[in-house]
């Protein structure tokens, strides 16, 4: 756990006030650690706008805003991880169009309790994600907030015009495919929240997160499935529709079906349930399928393919799971495997 408030109170005398640098001083400070990885980045940070070259393809633009106290809690969310995650969420949105993220802009508003060293930690995570995904940080804005930390990231990507996957392309009888492990990030959050409560009662307690390492890591340091986008490309699979799972499976399948003006049947026994998920669900007395349907922030990819593409994924070494199929009747069902079907309701993330 990172008790950043406490630490910064004790060490304030060694930390650097942002006002001593000013905004432009801070931009220069950030620029020192920014590298460009793409030829398409013509001008990066430091002019009125970034300049990008995009030949013979579509550009993709996505944006997300993260607010302290709403989307994250700095009691247990280290700033470095937060910076990493803020970038990854946005890269994931570009993945969800079957594209490749090439550039990002990052705007940050901070209250005066934040010192330069805290922003450095945040940007360390941002730069780490940029390196990991070979994405260029090309601009942003830095300013004061009245309360807390607010981060707004915009991602810019490219996609071949013939390979673009919207949410709206699913056809009757298409297979519904989902990557990876779902529900883990949500459980990771539950564990961190539980440890926070323990800490608040007894500040000398030392949390043992080792048994929950994978789940906590999925919450604090999720990854975007660029590997899946590459796999699909290499295997000549162009999904008919695609979305990333940021809000939970139920919310995402509803978006996909609504946009496509279709319905679906998903099968609860086809949905992959990881051992670590089952174990912690048991400990917390939670239903694994409910966690998977409603728990967000896994950043896995949900997509549909024509059934003729099934053989291309059937025996692949990739973590893909066919979990259902698209129907014409515009209703989204979950087949519970005991002869009963329940209609899927969106219980995803609520912003307000």
**Binding residues for its own copies, how many (CB under 8 A)?**
77
Among 60, 187, 323, 326, binds its own copies (CB under 8 A): 60
Among 16, 59, 75, 171, binds its own copies (CB under 8 A): 59
Please, what is the angle between helix 275-284 and helix 213-220, to 10°? 100
Among 36, 62, 240, 260, binds its own copies (CB under 8 A): 62
Its sign, for the CA torsion 36, 67, 199, 207, is negative
Shortest reach from residue 340's CB to its own copies, in Å? 28
Residue 215's Cβ-count burial label (10 Å; 0-12, 13-18, 19+) is buried
Residue carrying the six token digits 């010192």: 115
Centre a 10 Å sphere on the Cβ of residue 27 and count the other Cβ atoms it contains: 16
Its sign, for the CA torsion 309, 330, 168, 134, is negative
Q: For its own copies, what does the binding mask look like between residues 179 and 208, x meaning CB under 8 A?
A: ------------------------------
CA distance 247 to 143: 29
Contact between 250 and 345 under an 8 Å Cβ cutoff? The reply is yes
Nearer to its own copies, 49 or 201 (CB): 49
Nearer to its own copies, 135 or 215 (CB): 135
**Site for its own copies, residues 70 to 89, rule: CB under 8 A:** 70-71
Shortest reach from residue 194's CB to its own copies, in Å? 23
Shortest reach from residue 92's CB to its own copies, in Å? 8
CA distance 222 to 106: 18
**Site for its own copies, residues 143 to 172, rule: CB under 8 A:** 143-148, 150, 152, 154-157, 159, 164, 166-168
Q: Is 55 in the site for its own copies (CB under 8 A)?
A: yes
Q: Is 243 in the site for its own copies (CB under 8 A)?
A: yes
Q: Is 52 in the site for its own copies (CB under 8 A)?
A: yes
Among 54, 198, 316, 336, binds its own copies (CB under 8 A): 54
Contact between 344 and 331 under an 8 Å Cβ cutoff? The reply is no
CA distance 73 to 118: 15
Nearer to its own copies, 65 or 286 (CB): 65
Q: For its own copies, what does the binding mask look like between residues 89 and 128, x meaning CB under 8 A?
A: ----xx-xx-x---x-x-xxx--x----------------
User: HSE-up of 136 (CA within 13 Å, CB side)?
Assistant: 21
Shortest reach from residue 42's CB to its own copies, in Å? 6
Nearer to its own copies, 216 or 293 (CB): 293
Among 39, 48, 202, 234, binds its own copies (CB under 8 A): 48
Strand order in the sheet with 332-335: 241-245, 300-305, 175-179, 320-327, 263-267, 332-335, 341-343
**Site for its own copies, residues 328 to 347, rule: CB under 8 A:** 346
Q: Which helix (H) or strand (E) holds 59?
A: strand 58-67
């Amino acid at each position: 756990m990172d008790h950043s408030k406490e630490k910064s109170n004790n060490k304030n005398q060694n930390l650097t006030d942002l006002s001593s640098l000013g905004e432009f001083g801070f931009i220069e400070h950030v620029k020192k650690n920014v590298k460009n990885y793409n030829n398409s980045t013509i001008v990066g940070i430091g002019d009125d706008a970034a300049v990008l070259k995009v030949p013979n393809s579509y550009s993709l633009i996505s944006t997300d805003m993260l607010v302290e106290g709403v989307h994250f809690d700095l009691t247990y969310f280290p700033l470095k991880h937060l910076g990493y995650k803020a970038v990854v969420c946005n890269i994931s949105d570009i993945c969800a169009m079957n594209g490749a993220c090439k550039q990002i802009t990052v705007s940050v508003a901070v209250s005066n309790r934040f010192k330069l060293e805290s922003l450095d930690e945040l940007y360390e995570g941002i730069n780490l994600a940029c390196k990991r995904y070979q994405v260029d940080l090309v601009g942003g804005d830095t300013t004061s907030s009245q309360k807390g930390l607010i981060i707004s990231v915009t991602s810019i990507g490219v996609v071949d015009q013939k390979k673009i996957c919207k949410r709206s392309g699913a056809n009757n009888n298409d297979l519904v495919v989902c990557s990876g492990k779902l529900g883990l990030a949500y459980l990771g959050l539950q564990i961190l929240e539980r440890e926070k409560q323990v800490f608040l009662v007894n500040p000398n307690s030392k949390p043992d997160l080792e048994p929950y390492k994978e789940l906590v890591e999925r919450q604090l340091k999720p990854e975007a499935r660029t590997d899946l986008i590459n796999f699909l490309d290499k295997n000549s699979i162009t999904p008919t529709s695609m979305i990333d799972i940021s809000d939970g499976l139920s919310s995402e399948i509803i978006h996909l079906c609504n946009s496509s003006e279709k319905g679906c049947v998903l099968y609860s026994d086809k949905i992959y349930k990881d051992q670590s998920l089952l174990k912690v669900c048991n400990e917390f007395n939670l239903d694994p399928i409910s966690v998977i349907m409603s728990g967000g922030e896994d950043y896995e990819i949900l997509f549909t393919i024509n059934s003729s593409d099934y053989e291309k994924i059937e025996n692949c070494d990739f973590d893909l799971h066919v979990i259902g199929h698209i129907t014409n009747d515009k209703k989204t069902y979950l087949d519970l495997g005991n002869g009963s079907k329940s209609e899927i309701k969106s219980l995803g993330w609520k912003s307000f």
